Amino acid sequence: MGCLARLSLTAIPVLAVACALHAQTPTTAPAGGSASQPTSRPTTPEAAAKAKPLIEKMMTRLRAAKSYADRAEFKFDLLAKDKEGKEIKDNDGQTLTFAWAGPNRLALIGDEFAIQANGTKLWLHSGALEQYTEEPAPARVDLNKAREALRGSGPPHPVAFVLAAPDKTFEQLFPMIVGYSAVEPETRDGRPGVRIEAVLDTRNVEEFGPYALQLPVHIWLDETTHLPGSVKIDATEVIQKQLELPEGISEESLPAEFPRKVVHATVTIAFRDQKYDTEIPGEQFVYKPSADTRKVDQFAPPEESEDQPEPTDLIGQPAPDFEGKDLDDKPVKLADFKGRVLVLDFWATWCGPCMKAIPQIQKLHEQYAEKPVTVLGMNTDRASVRDKVKSTVADKKLTFRQFLDADGKVSRKYNISGIPCTILVDKQGVVQAVHLDYS
């Protein structure tokens, strides 16, 4: 089977796990009773007595800011083993840029969404829908309401929620933090700081599913600035729970590469390039739509039909136009290949079948190197994992060019619903063949 969707393991979104850092709708209790008590982790009053004043200093420092900006790097790291004991590694991530200069002057921008307000107007952008809304800016931007309108796009930025809700305490904003187990000094990059070891209760985090677990969380605070430097969640237990086989599914029916044992799984948020009380250019709060983004009154998915478009629907049709950048940041457009046969290979680093298929694509590239044939990789990974794409290209010794389709716009034009998918375009620019899956 191809990667029509990620395996449940590699699909554990950084976005979902990171939602543990902001209050979400409590998980509905199982039918027939209340949610079970979570697995217990030790907490101590002594640790809480040390941690809470440090947390309060952080909250006070943030709320005293006239302006604040940072770049929050969300990263998911996984090491698992399949049923034969072979290692499976995965990492994924996303970067959010955040700037704040008042209750209705802010910008929170991720790979697939944007929330921007300049004091006069409020813009919400959905990259997945290629739509945006524009309305008068309220006196205070409600980030929960904005994310709800965007259908939860992107991970919640913890500092953004602190600044956007000055009337709420740390406990109100982050009720899933239920205790503290240790507070230790820790220097990072020459900066003195403190590591607070806390406990997260999953029952109030809908994205974790119906599991009653307590997970370790490490919060690192800069001792000089009192600003948060990073947050790390050990998600090993909850990922392992999500891999439990449902009734009726046997171990033997699983593909060999399906992960069974989680060695470790962590979600880390690192706050980079922090700027406190420095002037932020006004244009950073203004949304600038691209030519292919449509203004709407409210977000709505494209009209669904019983017959969803498939890549094979393009056979006999002119190949949809596209342009963008390659892995070396050089411009690429469909017109560059006029008069040549073009092979488009849609793939991603997280897709196991893609990794099996791509050596064959490399052989195809080598076989027709002296012919008027171009093989173009169409990489669909997020922009934030470009380094992983580069290392994969190097490890696999791929010498054909790689187009970056991080926003999925080209994939949507070609009706790509699963990968790997290879599309053959003739010299006249007409789609002649489509190969789905890997076999």
Query: Domains along the chain?
Result: 14-295 (2.50.20.10), 311-436 (3.40.30.10)
pTM above 0.85, yes or no: no
Nearest residue to 341 via CA among 372, 367, 309 = 372
Q: Supply φ then ψ for residue 278, to 5 degrees.
A: -115, 150
DSSP letter string over 398-409?
Answer: --SEEEE-TT-H
Task: Return d(Cα 319, Cα 339) in angstroms, integer.
Answer: 13
List per-residue pLDDT tens for the chain, 439 residues long: 233 223 322 333 333 333 334 433 333 333 333 345 555 678 899 999 999 999 999 999 999 999 999 999 998 888 998 888 888 887 777 889 999 999 999 999 988 899 999 999 999 998 878 899 999 999 999 998 898 888 766 678 999 999 999 899 999 999 999 999 999 999 999 999 999 999 999 887 766 667 788 999 999 999 999 999 999 999 999 888 877 776 666 777 666 667 789 999 999 999 999 999 999 999 999 999 988 788 999 887 655 445 678 888 999 999 999 999 999 999 999 999 999 999 999 999 888 788 888 999 999 999 999 999 999 999 998 877 788 899 999 989 999 999 999 888 899 899 998 899 999 999 999 999 998 865 5
At 169, which amino acid appears? T
Single-letter amino acid, residue 298: Q
Backbone angles phi, psi at 107, to 5 degrees: -145, 125
In the block, residue with structure tokens 């230790």 = 184
CA distances from 283 to 2, 108, 154, 175 (A): 43, 13, 22, 35
Type and span of the H or E element at 158: helix 158-164
Rounded Cα–Cα distance for residues 244 and 348 (Å): 26
Tokens 């709060």 belong to 285
